[in-house]
Structure 1
């Protein structure tokens, strides 16, 4: 069961409480205690940097509420800051909802980066094709055929139209008892999806620029929401056009490609990168049990990681 239903037991005394960060506005935080009460507060310097989803301890005084400690994280998701350095945007996530749409057009390379991050962080990835109302039957079938490369290796692909509320009933069971984060390019309808799943929530919605065919940035901080009956949580993240993979070694990239798992141990060399080494069992399966397209994506990601770590 994911963290949407389970919270670590913490021994609290006096005015101390355990809570979850539901938004970070910089100088101030919004947190929610385990009894459902929300507080605006600030953080002690020695508590460390905090992000949405963090579990913390609070000191509730007569005039102010202060975060005194951050509890250990079991997962975290990062994005690049203005200098290209990794910045954690959310923590304690069980599931990655990778939202794509026909407009702005998606690229499999970005999906694969999300999938590698999810696999290495032990998050369950789910691909959500939004804005299906923009497609006629032929175009929809074409996109679903493109995404079949993922369903064949066990990743759920759920077509929805958040604006028309089509397909949301298929998505809701996937969210139960989990802490999920909605990720994807700006403009794919992440906030519209949350508005559809959570009646009464007014997540900010942006449009797609006609000039660039890219989304306009609306969400500026990750926000955590409860699903109905507190049956899990969902985090709306800022739009991520570029998704880097930091602090992973070249030999870890293959661990993010689940279809390699049955063959990696059969390679002649233990440090095989499945590129040009002799006796590579992974490469032998390319075009058979491993998609040539996914293998090509692996090689490009491997090269990218090597350059980022250079």
Structure 2
């Protein structure tokens, strides 16, 4: 029987079948011994799995996961069990949506750029949504307009909303309709309030850490999926602050800054890191105003955090 993983607590999984039946499922032991699976969690929210219901107690709705389907894509973070290990946050995504704010709190450009790099590395289209429009003054609106111009020019959709005033919510619903979307954002940006608007009756806690809390190590890194009324699914990721640059080496990083891609083949050296090398087309583009200087600073900062020992 085929089902999709909606929730994980590390040992138990909530799965839903194609007919809408929900089961509490455990993972068959063989997956834990499979050397081909390099992540600390071989099954993730969004995975399509095969299950065998426990017929000894049909009312309990328990099942065993016997097989994991092939993933279209997935997104990972570094694992709390070791810097060389990875934790799969979610699988089979159509897009990723970052909820940010210009104030209370302010989402830094560096954080936004790390999110976009992670999404690009796993071939997942990204959307930027800035919340709390209702509290923005002229100064904050200037900052938003600069951000909007920067990221729109690169090719990312940028939206401005107010979850408390219900402004722009219909536009977000249209973007989410019929798609499986990973939604992330720092605590305090209003992500839980937005999800409550999008999924009637859900009533997520609008505290610093939203959603259900399981037991065990790093429970806030677990994702959970919700069905949207108009079709599609939304995956909430309370552990977004743990996102790190994983499985990307220094030579690859520039490929995930979309505006740098047209210049990469023009550099003098094939292995150019775009820092100190002569004949660097990327640096020339920055100096010519064709690449935003702050984005280049983000690139250089992320490059420094990539440790050679990981590879």
TM (norm. structure 1) is 0.86
Alignment of 1:60 onto 2:47: no
For 1:5, the equivalent position in structure 2 comes to none
2:308, 2:110 → 1: CA distance?
Answer: 17
Conservation of the 8 A alpha-carbon contact between 1:186 and 1:239: no
- What aligned pairs does 1:1-310 form with structure 2 within 5 A after superposition? 17-48=1-32, 49-62=42-55, 63=57, 64-83=62-81, 85=83, 86-101=86-101, 102-206=103-207, 216-219=208-211, 220=220, 221-229=222-230, 231-287=231-287, 288-306=289-307, 309=310
Measure how far apart 1:144 and its partner are.
2.8
Measure how far apart 1:309 and its partner are.
3.1
Measure how far apart 1:138 and its partner are.
4.2
CA RMSD, aligned part only?
Answer: 1.8
2:107, 2:308 → 1: CA distance?
Answer: 24
Conservation of the 8 A alpha-carbon contact between 1:76 and 1:88: yes
CA, structure 1 residues 309+43, in 2 after alignment: closer, same or farther (shift >3 Å)? closer
Measure how far apart 1:253 and its partner are.
0.4
Q: Which consecutive unaligned segments of at least 5 residues does structure 2 have? A: 33-41, 212-219
2:193, 2:73 → 1: CA distance?
Answer: 26
Q: Secondary structure at the match of 1:96?
A: strand
Greater Cα shift, 96-105 or 81-90: 81-90
2:76, 2:133 → 1: CA distance?
Answer: 28
CA, structure 1 residues 290+302, in 2 after alignment: closer, same or farther (shift >3 Å)? same
How many residues align? The count is 284
1:248, 1:98 → 2: CA distance?
Answer: 21
For 1:4, the equivalent position in structure 2 comes to none
Measure how far apart 1:137 and its partner are.
4.3
2:175, 2:45 → 1: CA distance?
Answer: 21
Conservation of the 8 A alpha-carbon contact between 1:110 and 1:243: no
Q: Secondary structure at the match of 2:286?
A: coil
Conservation of the 8 A alpha-carbon contact between 2:97 and 2:181: yes
2:236, 2:165 → 1: CA distance?
Answer: 20
TM (norm. structure 2) is 0.85
2:182, 2:174 → 1: CA distance?
Answer: 15
Q: Identify, as 1 or 2, the structure richer in helix.
A: 2
1:225, 1:245 → 2: CA distance?
Answer: 26
CA, structure 1 residues 84+47, in 2 after alignment: closer, same or farther (shift >3 Å)? closer
Q: Secondary structure at the match of 2:4?
A: strand
Conservation of the 8 A alpha-carbon contact between 1:163 and 1:196: no
